[in-house]
Structure 1
Amino acid sequence: MADRPGPVTGPDGGLEERLADLAESGRRRAVPPAAERIRARGEQRVRRRRAALASGGALLVAAVALGGLSLVRTARDPEPPAVHPTATASRFVPPAPAPGEEYAEELAHVYGAVVRGDTVRVTVEPLRAVRGTATPAGEAHTLTLPRGTPVEARRLSGGEPADVRLDELLDRLTGDRKWAFVIDYDGEGRVHSLREAYWLAD
């Protein structure tokens, strides 16, 4: 019985196997298996999470540092003093001009002038004119006015009508006597001028 020829194991026979191995290796490199793709995606997620935590931590450190600086600055810098209103010592609301009018009027006794630099603080006691006589008509308040506030005077200027400045009348207004004035307020609640109400009996 003749022997069957065996498989070809020469140099050409191993070439086919090597080519098959190379082709399989190339496919693995071009398209990674499912397990490798899953592992690669997981590693990417881990890297992104670490980067996010690192950036978030940096932001947190920066926020804490800024907050600490603001607290240190607040502790070092004293708070500015509270600004107290100087126009009134009560809940007085300046009268508003009527429609078509430039000023609103307040009839009042003015007295107790106190000089404070370029301003004069006076006490104002609202009045009501009843048959030529002045009678109290409300709660007293204070006004702080520029020393150059214009004043129309008559008795205060010696009996003759005269336009003077408030600081020219300080010697009269600092005494105990109360002088009747009409105070003119503009639309923003500022005092424009004072007019002596000389026609009223004190």
Structure 2
Amino acid sequence: MDDAIGLEGRLADLAASGRRYAATPAAREVRARGDRRRRRKRAARATGGAVTAAALALGVLSAVRPGPQTAPSAATPTAAVSASPFVAPAPAPGEEYASELGFVYHAATVKGNAVRVTVAQVRTEKGIVTRTGAVHRLTLKPETPVEVKNMAGGEAGDMRAGELVDRLSAGPQWVFAVDHDAEGRVQSLREAHWLAAG
């Protein structure tokens, strides 16, 4: 009988001990989540204040300019990248690619073998190319396929972007159709030899 009472007492102590250890990690986890939430809120408030202060400072600096400045000539085209971030064209429903037309130039090899190019977008009217003013940069895989004709001496052929760095390193000369997939990646370039630069 004493053994049964002793056993029951030990089992009760063991159960209480188990409950104590089972509850503690859950409570610790709740406290830790609360601490993380508070830290994130503090960081967000601090970052928001810093961003607001920077925006105000930038506004004051842009409002107070040091003397008169001449506006850039409208006749001189610039190769500056447009301020708004480039958004790759999306394929139409049922289409695999979407194409943008543009001068492809200032090619250079970067990050090993990748090819960085500048694209000045154009539109066509009756086969004549006119610039839209949008300029952006793309980084291409060196194995990106490129269809060429005039660049290859009038013979249509296929090359790779890595092979054309020297020919595309100068200023705007060649117009290409740049094919983007649904994720915005460049899949190929096609020389728009059928267009006349205006």
The TM-score range, normalised by the shorter chain, is 0.5 to 0.7
Displacement of 1:200 in angstroms is 2.6
Q: How many residues align?
A: 136
Alignment equivalent of 2:129, drawn from 112, 134, 137:
134
Task: Say if 2:110 is the partner of 1:102.
Answer: no
Q: Deviations over 1:16-59 (max 9, x none)?
A: xxxxxxxxxxxxxxxxxxxxxxxxxxxxxxxxxxx9xxx9xxx8
Give every structure 1 segment of 4 or more consecutive aligned residues whose post-TM-superposition deviation is greater than 6 Å.
none
Give the secondary-structure state (helix, strand or coil) at the position aligned to 2:92: coil
Quick one: which amino acid aligns to residue 169 of structure 2? T
Quick one: which amino acid aligns to residue 123 of structure 2? R
Corresponding residue for residue 71 of structure 2? none
Q: Normalising by the residue count of structure 1, what TM-score does the alignment of the two structures yield?
A: 0.55
Displacement of 1:96 in angstroms is 0.7
Corresponding residue for residue 168 of structure 2? 173
Query: Would you say the 8 A contact 1:153–1:195 is kept in 2?
Result: yes
Rounded Cα–Cα distance in structure 1 between residues aligned with 2:100 and 2:139:
15
**Which runs of 5 or more structure 2 residues have no equivalent in the other structure?**
1-16, 33-81
Alignment equivalent of 1:111, drawn from 94, 105, 127:
105
Q: Whose Rg is larger?
A: 1
Quick one: which amino acid aligns to residue 92 of structure 1? F
**Which runs of 5 or more structure 1 residues have no equivalent in the other structure?**
1-50, 68-87
Corresponding residue for residue 93 of structure 1? 87
Quick one: which amino acid aligns to residue 162 of structure 1? G
Q: Normalising by the residue count of structure 2, what TM-score does the alignment of the two structures yield?
A: 0.56
Give the secondary-structure state (helix, strand or coil) at the position aligned to 1:171: coil
Give the secondary-structure state (helix, strand or coil) at the position aligned to 1:187: coil
Give the secondary-structure state (helix, strand or coil) at the position aligned to 2:166: helix
Query: Would you say the 8 A contact 2:92–2:98 is kept in 1?
Result: yes
Rounded Cα–Cα distance in structure 2 between residues aligned with 1:161 and 1:108:
19
What root-mean-square deviation, in Å, do the aligned CA atoms of Structure 1 and Structure 2 show? 3.4
Query: Would you say the 8 A contact 1:89–1:142 is kept in 2?
Result: no
Query: Would you say the 8 A contact 1:124–1:141 is kept in 2?
Result: yes
Rounded Cα–Cα distance in structure 1 between residues aligned with 2:128 and 2:164:
23
Rounded Cα–Cα distance in structure 2 between residues aligned with 1:109 and 1:101:
24
Alignment equivalent of 1:195, drawn from 181, 190, 198:
190
Corresponding residue for residue 124 of structure 1? 119
Rounded Cα–Cα distance in structure 2 between residues aligned with 1:194 and 1:119:
15
